[in-house]
Amino acid sequence: MWIAFAVLVVVAIIAYFVFRQTSVDDISQPVSPIDLDLPNHIPNPPTSYISFDPALLDWTDLALYRLDNKLVLRQHFLASGASGDVYAGIFHNQPVAIKQLHVYTATSVQRFIREISLVAAIHSPHIVRLIGATWTCPQDLNAVMELMEGGDLRAFLAATSRCHVTWTTRLQWATSVCEGLFYLHSMHHMHRDIKSRNLLFQTKNDIDILKVADFGSARDVQDTGGGGTTTTMAGTLRWMAPEMLLFQPYSSAVDVYAFGVVLSEMDTHETPYAQHCKQDGDEMMLIRRVLHDQLRPSFSADVPVWFKFLALRCMAHDPAERPSTSEILHVLLTQQRRLEERDDQVQNWTTTM
């Protein structure tokens, strides 16, 4: 009985993503290769425009963040995401990132306006900052963000040997991301697409700072009817919580689940479930095993016990059993303090030798 149900769910999920990939006027986030976590560093086909009545749009207070088009200079292509391309640029002689949509329709532009407005209200050093927006008409709306020149976490992990990253560094990464999520949840938002590709590096004073980025799927929980839950699917399959995969009501706990998956990436440097998905079609079997067998990403043999335990708690099947971001922060900061104390003891010992 359960197997038949699981198969139906898997088919529904695959059908959902196929439909989303072919739809250009869906209010939810469209699908691109990045939603299956396939690397995409090539610009998508030229931006397309579909005629619509600008009066259909609700611009809210976006005018408060409008920049002079003449002061924003676009340069080279950086990356392609689920809903748009990102280019390097210059604003007031400062490097910036400029995001544009793949397809401009009334629905996609309205979604983009909502994304820009949401990020504009966020003020956290752990979240990529919005500088403003430019447009001369709805069909050329762009978001101007701070430039994260260090690239994304997934690219870094893929290019770096695990032995070259210390646990002090991993703790700093995890804490920074969790700080961003804690702030986001305190503002009654859920990101809904936390993954290593949406975590970007910025270097300041020779220190790599990891920040939360890409709010194309983000949602205000107050827009869910007051209960803080919704059933709309969003995000990327391997980071999706079971309740989202099952089209059940979900809350910001889906971000905690995805954070747990990211912790496994920080440990192994591998894409989640890499050893289970080496052939085409494995994605469907993976979904079934996540739902039916409670399969979770693997960890290295020498991973600290507390780190693995925390990650598995975050990935609990029941969202009620997952820790809050404040609980996670407490654990991470406690472990950071212990690691610093241990380092101080070692330094004192070597000094007295």
* Structural element, H or E, at residue 245: helix 242-245
User: For this structure, is 193 an active site residue?
Assistant: yes
Give percent of the chain with pLDDT exceeding 70. Answer: 78
Domains of the chain: 54-146 (3.30.200.20), 151-219+236-343 (1.10.510.10)
Its pTM stands at 0.84
Q: Which residue in 37, 193, 214, 267 is the catalytic one?
A: 193
**CA atoms of 215 and 213, how far apart (whole Å):** 6
Tens digit of each residue's pLDDT (9 = 90 or more) over 17-35: 544 443 433 333 333 333 5
Q: Are 129 and 121 spatial neighbours (Cβ–Cβ below 8 Å)? A: no
**Would the pLDDT of 154 be above 50?**
yes
Beta bridge partners of 96: 89, 146
**Would the pLDDT of 283 be above 50?**
yes
**CA atoms of 297 and 155, how far apart (whole Å):** 18
For 320-329, give one letter per residue: b (16+ CB within 10 A) or e: eebbebeebb
Cα distances (Å, whole numbers) of residue 137 to 4, 29, 59, 104: 50, 22, 12, 11
Q: Which of 225, 49, 241 is nearest to 138 (CA)?
A: 49
The more confident residue out of 16 and 77 is: 77
Give the per-residue pLDDT at 15: 53
Q: Which of 338, 312, 335 is nearest to 323 (CA)?
A: 312
Give the per-residue pLDDT at 349: 54
pLDDT class for 60, splitting at 50, 70, 90?
confident
295 burial class (0-12, 13-18, 19+ CB within 10 angstroms)? middle
Report DSSP letters for 18-69, one per residue: HHHHH-SS-SSPPP-GGGGT----SPPSPPEE----GGG---TTGGGGB--G
The amino acid present at 159, given as its one-letter code, is A
**CA atoms of 147 and 204, how far apart (whole Å):** 12
Do the bridges between strand 142-146 and strand 48-49 make them parallel or antiparallel, or are there none, so unpaired? unpaired
**Would the pLDDT of 204 be above 80?**
no
Give the per-residue pLDDT at 26: 37
Report DSSP letters for 168-191, one per residue: HHHHHHHHHHHHHHHHHHHTTEE-
Furthest-apart CA atoms within the chain: distance in Å = 77
**To which residue do tokens 């380092």 refer?**
343
**Would the pLDDT of 45 be above 60?**
no
Q: Which of 147, 128, 12, 7 is nearest to 73 (CA)?
A: 147
